[in-house]
Homo-oligomer: A and B are copies of this chain.
Amino acid sequence: MTKTLRIAVIGAGRMGADHIQRLNTRIHGAEVAAVVDVDLARAQAAIEGIPGAVALADAEEALGNGDVNAVLIATPGFLHEDILLKAIAKDIPILCEKPLTPDAGSAWKIVEAEEKLGHKRIQVGFMRRFDAEYAALGSVIRDGELGELLMLHHQHRNPTTPAGFTNEMLINDSVVHEFDAVRFFTGEEITSVQVRLGKATRNAPNGQHDPQHVLLETESGVLADVEIYVNAQFGYEVATQASLETGIVSIGNDTGPYVRTAGRWGGAVAPGFEARFGAAYDTEIQAWVDAALCGGIGGPSAWDGYATAACCEAGIEAQRTGGKVAVALKPKPALYA
């Protein structure tokens, strides 16, 4: 057992830079050993003020660095497969930002590689599971005090989308969180996806159809739906309402200072995911570090990455056809049982 994780962070973009800052100021038991970015200047800027950290342009070089004993992957998803396979070969702790890989086929290869390794090394960055209210709702459901879970209603709203955002990304980058959330809350796999396209906002650029209404079913028949609305203008909101046999539980309600001024009551809406889920990211990374120092993982596995990738594939087909599309999953390997 190592006392401190010496982490190579691969990718120094928005998410990577956020994690570097987190590891360098708030996470106990971990340090940034290397930052890798194809843009070497960006990597160099990211390590400024971090004693003992090096900037590199090549992920393989970082994995080979004797000072590195763990890796956090924060590059765009299409680059994940190659780095993951090399890190699995090194048998070191891996935190991989979602998606595991962009499609179910490549995700399955990762699952197979890890299964062959024989123990879990990969934790996937579905950080919502570490949000205090998500965790609380999960407990309520599992405790069974309110009976069986019957329905889940999700709202997922962003103020605007970045340049180049597409209808496919609305599923792969946004709804993917709800695919994982539904799996987390129910403890079941999703069996089908349907997408309703109705009246669209005039504020969506680039041919995006926004909002969309996504309908899911799970193995036991739980009906879930997601109102995904990524150009909602007013701010960022992620909320869930669970219907159980003897009660309803809502999470993600607005909080913060309550103000009365200028004829209105209320408060400020979170402007983006950093404000809403910052604490969840901290908790996620700390859980990974704590588990990695003991040789395990502390959150969603490669199987979770694979299963959500299969949901995304079904979701994109459902967007295109309007019909209900079944989610096809291979049998779950024993490692993830």
Q: Measuring CB to CB, which residues of chain A are less than 8 angstroms from any residue of chain B?
A: 3, 24-28, 51, 133, 136-137, 140, 146-151, 153, 155, 157, 196, 198-203, 211, 213, 215, 217, 220-223, 225, 227, 229, 232-235, 237, 241, 243, 245-251, 253-269, 271, 279, 286, 290
Q: Is the CB of B150 within 8 A of A153?
A: no
Label chain A's interface by main secondary structure.
Answer: mixed
Contacts of A260 in B (CB 8 A): 234-235, 237, 247-249, 254, 269
Q: Is the CB of A151 within 8 A of B266?
A: no
In the assembled complex, the Cα of A217 lies from the Cα of B146 at a distance in Å of 33
Partner of A148, one of B151, B153, B202: B202
Q: Is the CB of A262 within 8 A of B248?
A: no
In the assembled complex, the Cα of A260 lies from the Cα of B24 at a distance in Å of 35
Partner of A150, one of B201, B258, B271: B201
| Shortest CB distance A27–B (Å) | 6
| Residue of chain B at shortest CB distance from A235 | B263
7 more CB-based (< 8 A) A-B contacts, given A157-B248, A247-B260: A25-B290, A133-B257, A147-B202, A150-B201, A200-B221, A232-B247, A248-B259
Partner of A151, one of B3, B223, B227: B227
Partner of A255, one of B146, B241, B255: B255
Q: Is the CB of B243 within 8 A of A262?
A: no
Contacts of A196 in B (CB 8 A): 215, 223
In the assembled complex, the Cα of A222 lies from the Cα of B266 at a distance in Å of 25
Partner of A262, one of B51, B227, B246, B265: B246
Contacts of A149 in B (CB 8 A): 199
Q: Is the CB of A266 within 8 A of B263?
A: no
| Residue of chain B at shortest CB distance from A254 | B265
Contacts of A268 in B (CB 8 A): 263-265
Partner of A211, one of B25, B150, B267: B150
Contacts A151-B198, A201-B147, A211-B150 given: A247-B261 contact, CB under 8 Å? Answer: yes
| Shortest CB distance A161–B (Å) | 15
Q: Is the CB of A211 within 8 A of B269?
A: no
Q: Is the CB of A253 within 8 A of B258?
A: yes
